[in-house]
């Protein structure tokens, strides 16, 4: 029992950064913009959170600074793609390349330093419950990620502003003709995505591994992008997808560290699978989340009806207002 609770808690920790970043990107893509710079914004968030927490001694200060840094960094992308109508794919890549380089330079002096860890906060009343209690005694960013999904789902589908944002994403020309300021809506959406990615980065350097390592995002920003496609642009499915990927990550992690003989009491077929998985070289298991991403993308894209209905129709297209 204890073991399973700790495994489930580690799945929460692996899923939360994916969920934060993917929820932000979902809003960006719903407004019709494809920002491939999630990985770059995330790592800028990670290095900012670590360094500000070091300097100020406050982990919350670090997390707040990461939100700000992610949003500020995303403005670079917004200015290029919205104001200068540069190609979104190329500019997103540029944001990732610059973010990885810049974070490496900023964080050079922090390598190897012990970081500050964001402590768990118990929710009064709920954390004392049997069985489910531990899930209400986690770090505040975990709660934030869940609240964020609820808030985004409500915003997109229950508010007028959310409807406006989706209209911009589905047909920027019609939205413009209705007097909506397409560019302004997209600026806000991109900054929201940047803030979320920054917070996701902060989660990595303040909770998952409280230290700074160069390139510590390790492709999570890209997986978050894939999750948005997987979720066919629906917030609740992002939650599902993020936890699915978190589970895969933890499963491969445990398979690398486990002695198969511990599981000999399990049914024979299950034991055989575990024995086989643990005998694989570590590199194969590490590849698993990336391979799973590809498989999921293929399955989702193969279902054309599903993707056609939900894909924001203006996704990735540049918009130049005619005066």
Partner 1 sequence: MILQLEKRPQASPLLSVLSPLLALLLTAAAGLIMFAILGKAPFSALYTYFIEPLTDPWMREQILVKATPLILIAVGLSICFRSSNWNIGAEGQYLMGGLFGAMLPVYFYELQSSLLLPAMLLMGMLGGALYAFVPAILKARFNTNEILSSLMLVYVAQQLVDWVVRGPWRDPGGFGFPGTRSFNESATLPKLWQYGDAHWGAVLAIVSALIMWFVLSKTLQGFKVTVIGTSPRAGRFAGFSAGRLTVVAFLVSGALAGLAGIGEVAGSVGKLDDKLSLGYGFSAIIVAFLGRLNPLGIVAAGLVLALSYIGGEAAQISLGISDRATRVFQGLLLFFVLACDTLIHYKISLTGLRQQKSQGAAG
- Is residue 69 a contact residue for partner 1 (CB under 8 A)? no
Binding mask 28-47 for partner 1 (x = CB under 8 A): --------x-----------
What are the structure tokens assigned to 3, written together? 């073991």
The distance of closest approach from Cβ of residue 293 to partner 1 in the complex, given in angstroms and rounded to an integer, is 5
Q: Which SS3 state, helix, strand or coil, does residue 122 take?
A: strand
Question: In this complex, which beta carbon is closest to partner 1, that of residue 211 or of residue 293?
Answer: 293
Note whether 99 and 41 are within 8 A (CB). Answer: yes
Please identify which residue in 55, 57, 97, 146 interacts with partner 1, judged by CB under 8 A.
97
Nearest approach in angstroms of CB 136 to partner 1 is 34
Q: Cα dist. 200→13, 47, 73, 248, 304 in Å?
A: 11, 11, 14, 19, 31
Q: Point out which span in 5-13, 166-174, 259-267, 277-285 binds partner 1 (CB under 8 A).
A: 277-285
The site map against partner 1 for 237-276 (x = CB under 8 A) is: ----------------------------------------
Residue 11: partners with Cβ closer than 8 Å, 6 or more residues away: 243, 246, 247, 250
Whose Cβ is closer to partner 1: residue 83's or residue 159's?
83
How far is the C-alpha of 293 from the C-alpha of 289, rounded, in Å? 6
- Is 191 within 8 Å of 75 (Cβ atoms)? yes
Residue from 154, 157, 236, 290 in contact with partner 1 (CB under 8 A)? 290
Q: Alpha-carbon distance 17 to 26, whole Å?
A: 14
Nearer to partner 1, 90 or 129 (CB): 90
The helix-helix angle for 182-203 and 140-158 (nearest 10°) equals 160
Measure CA 297 to chain center: 16
Q: Is 283 in the site for partner 1 (CB under 8 A)?
A: yes
Q: What radius of gyration, in Å, describes the C-alpha atoms of the chain? A: 20
* Total residues at interface with partner 1 (CB under 8 A): 45
Which residues ranging from 164 to 193 are in contact with partner 1 (CB under 8 A)? none
Report the C-alpha gap between 221 and 21 in whole angstroms: 7
Candidates 108, 177, 262, 264: give the one binding partner 1 (CB under 8 A). 108
Judge whether 67 and 203 are in contact, CB under 8 Å.
no
Interaction site with partner 1 (CB under 8 A): 36, 76, 80, 83-87, 89-91, 93-94, 97-102, 104-105, 108, 218-219, 222, 225-226, 229, 281, 283-284, 286-287, 290-291, 293-294, 297-298, 301-302, 304, 307, 320, 323
């Amino acid at each position: 029992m204890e073991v399973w609770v700790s495994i489930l808690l580690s799945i929460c920790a692996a899923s939360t950064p994916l969920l934060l970043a993917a929820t932000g990107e979902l809003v960006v893509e719903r407004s019709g913009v494809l920002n491939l710079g999630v990985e770059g914004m995330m790592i800028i968030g990670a290095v900012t959170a670590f360094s500000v927490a070091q300097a100020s001694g406050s982990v919350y200060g670090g997390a707040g600074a990461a939100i700000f840094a992610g949003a500020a960094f995303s403005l670079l992308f917004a200015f290029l793609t919205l104001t200068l109508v540069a190609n979104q794919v190329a500019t997103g890549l540029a944001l990732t390349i610059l973010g990885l380089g810049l974070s490496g330079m900023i964080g050079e002096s922090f390598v190897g330093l012990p970081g500050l860890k964001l402590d768990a906060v118990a929710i009064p009343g709920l954390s004392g419950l049997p069985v489910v209690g531990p899930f209400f005694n986690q770090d505040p960013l975990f709660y934030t990620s869940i609240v964020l999904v609820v808030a985004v789902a409500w915003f997109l589908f229950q508010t007028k502003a959310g409807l406006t944002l989706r209209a911009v994403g589905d047909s920027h020309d019609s939205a413009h003709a209705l007097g909506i300021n397409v560019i302004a809506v997209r600026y806000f959406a991109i900054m929201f995505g940047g803030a979320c990615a920054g917070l996701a980065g902060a989660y990595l350097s303040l909770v998952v591994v409280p230290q700074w390592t160069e390139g510590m995002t390790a492709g999570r920003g890209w997986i978050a992008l894939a999750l948005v496609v997987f979720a066919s642009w629906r917030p609740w499915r992002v939650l599902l997808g993020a936890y699915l990927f978190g589970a895969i990550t933890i499963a491969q992690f445990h398979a690398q560290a486990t002695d198969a003989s511990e599981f000999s009491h399990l049914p024979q077929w299950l034991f055989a699978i575990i024995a086989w998985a643990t005998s694989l070289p570590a590199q194969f298991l590490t590849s698993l989340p990336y391979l799973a991403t590809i498989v999921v993308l293929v399955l989702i894209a193969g279902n054309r009806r599903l993707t056609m209905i939900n894909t924001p129709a203006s996704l990735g297209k540049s918009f130049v207002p005619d005066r």
